[in-house]
């Protein structure tokens, strides 16, 4: 997205070619950017500059990617073009009002189903207005959508967030030449963006996704005799909440060769089998690990004692009601689990884990978490639908098999 809004040709290496990313690439092509994949896996993106996108000739299909859909709303809102966006059955159930409401203030109009659900027709502002907005809940998606909209608005866009959320967008904006500042205030922090910069093409080396690395890391922790090293994992401090929690549970996670690439901290992580103890995770940790709760719940199922994961309301509006679905994943595999309000309580150390059929509800992270649960369970774990894994992690099953996992028919 940022390369498509820059002037010149950007070179991207290490790109995760999951369905979410490929759908995003198709959308940016439809908006006028030129994208080409080279034989060595490098992607070249010739951007159109801020304000230079064109109206797409067809509906933009974002598949299963809520992140892509919400961020694209921000881009479209500040361009004087008309577009229609849709997605798969899961994405069409997800509410978009949290981005539609603030984006309407810049001059864009939206027409969709109840709650702003897709399909969504978007008419961008003729002259986008900068806004000052305080996020009602911690959401990197909403923040990023507003920053993307602010790129084509004359003046200063200011976003106040009560709790710091992942800041990849801020880092990437700076990498492409935008002026972004962060000021800490009494009730959080304020991110300020100067509108209508000329973004310059830049080379980007994409670090390994910590959310994807989490599955191999937890598998190694749970399976006796395991030792795994994962190279070039992103270690952005606003994304490493899971790693901190696992360390508090007793895990030995060793980071070697720390370095900075493309404005992001990365390093090589080595982990080996460890007996884990239960954990009480405060709500404040959620923004730094919101996608990792299903796999953390699997780790807690094998930990000694009772774990409590607090403040998980945001999980109710993911690809599925991920809070209820995670509880069901554990329960069907003989793990005692409770939901109290927005807290997930997991009683670890059941004598006979496994043997259940997990309903994934078209949610890739639930499917992968169930597959990892099966590696340490006493009885096999079945998964009703693994097709959505490619949304975020193509090649998941072959990679895990290469590490010794027993996974069939995925």
Are the beta carbons of 130 and 156 closer than 8 angstroms?
Answer: yes
Whether a cis peptide bond, with omega within 30° of 0, leads into 119 is: yes
Q: How far apart are CA 405 and CA 398, in angstroms?
A: 9
C-beta separation of 293 from 326 below 8 A: yes
Distance from CA of residue 199 to its chain's centroid?
24
C-alpha dist (Å) from residue 335 to 328, 347, 353: 9, 7, 7
CA distance 165 to 253: 23
Contact 118, 93 (CB under 8 A): no
Q: Which helix (H) or strand (E) holds 375?
A: helix 364-376
Tell me the C-alpha distance between 174 and 56, whole Å: 28
Query: Which one, of 172, 199, 197, 202, lies nearest residue 10 by Cα?
Result: 202
Q: What are the residues facing 363 on neighbouring strands?
A: none
Residue 322's beta-bridge partner residues? none
Q: How many residues does the chain have?
A: 410
Q: Which of 167, 291, 363, 390 is catalytic?
A: 291
Is 20 an active-site residue? no
Degrees (nearest 5) of the Cα angle 19, 21, 27? 100
* Active site amino acids: 291
């Amino acid at each position: 997205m940022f390369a498509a809004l820059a002037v010149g040709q950007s070179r991207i290496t290490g790109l995760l070619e999951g369905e979410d990313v490929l759908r995003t690439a198709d959308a940016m092509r439809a908006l006028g950017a030129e994208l080409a994949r080279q034989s060595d896996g490098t992607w070249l993106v010739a951007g159109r500059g801020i304000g230079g996108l064109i109206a797409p000739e067809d509906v933009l299909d974002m598949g299963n990617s809520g992140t892509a859909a919400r961020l694209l709303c921000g881009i479209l809102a500040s361009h004087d073009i008309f577009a229609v966006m849709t997605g798969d059955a899961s994405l069409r159930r997800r509410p978009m009002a949290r981005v539609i409401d603030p984006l309407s203030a810049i001059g864009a109009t939206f027409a969709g189903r109840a709650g702003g659900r897709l399909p969504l027709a978007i008419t961008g502002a003729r002259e986008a207005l900068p806004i000052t907005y305080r996020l009602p809940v911690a959401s990197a998606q909403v923040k990023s959508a507003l920053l993307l909209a602010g790129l084509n608005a004359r003046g200063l866009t200011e976003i106040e967030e009560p709790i710091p959320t992942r800041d990849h967008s801020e880092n990437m904006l700076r990498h492409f030449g935008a002026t972004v500042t962060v000021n800490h205030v009494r009730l959080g922090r304020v991110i300020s963006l100067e509108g209508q910069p000329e973004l310059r093409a830049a080379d980007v080396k994409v670090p390994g996704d910590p959310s994807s690395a989490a599955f191999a890391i937890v598998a190694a922790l749970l399976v006796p005799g395991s030792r795994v090293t994962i190279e070039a994992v992103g270690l952005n401090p606003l994304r490493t909440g899971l790693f901190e929690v696992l360390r508090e549970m007793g895990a030995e996670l060793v980071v070697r060769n720390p370095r900075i690439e493309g404005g992001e901290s990365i390093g090589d992580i080595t982990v080996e089998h460890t007996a884990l103890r239960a954990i009480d995770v405060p709500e404040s940790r959620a923004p730094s690990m919101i996608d990792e709760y299903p796999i953390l719940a699997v780790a807690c199922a094998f930990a000694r004692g009772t774990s409590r994961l607090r403040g998980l309301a945001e999980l109710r509006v993911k690809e599925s009601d991920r809070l209820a679905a995670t509880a069901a994943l554990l329960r069907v595999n003989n793990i005692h689990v409770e939901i109290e309000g927005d807290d997930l309580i997991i009683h670890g150390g059941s004598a006979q884990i496994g043997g259940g059929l997990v309903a994934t509800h078209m949610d890739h992270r639930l499917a992968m978490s169930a597959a990892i649960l099966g590696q340490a369970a006493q009885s096999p774990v079945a998964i009703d639908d693994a097709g959505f894994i490619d949304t975020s992690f193509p090649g998941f099953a072959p990679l895990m098999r290469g590490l010794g996992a027993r996974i069939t028919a995925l």
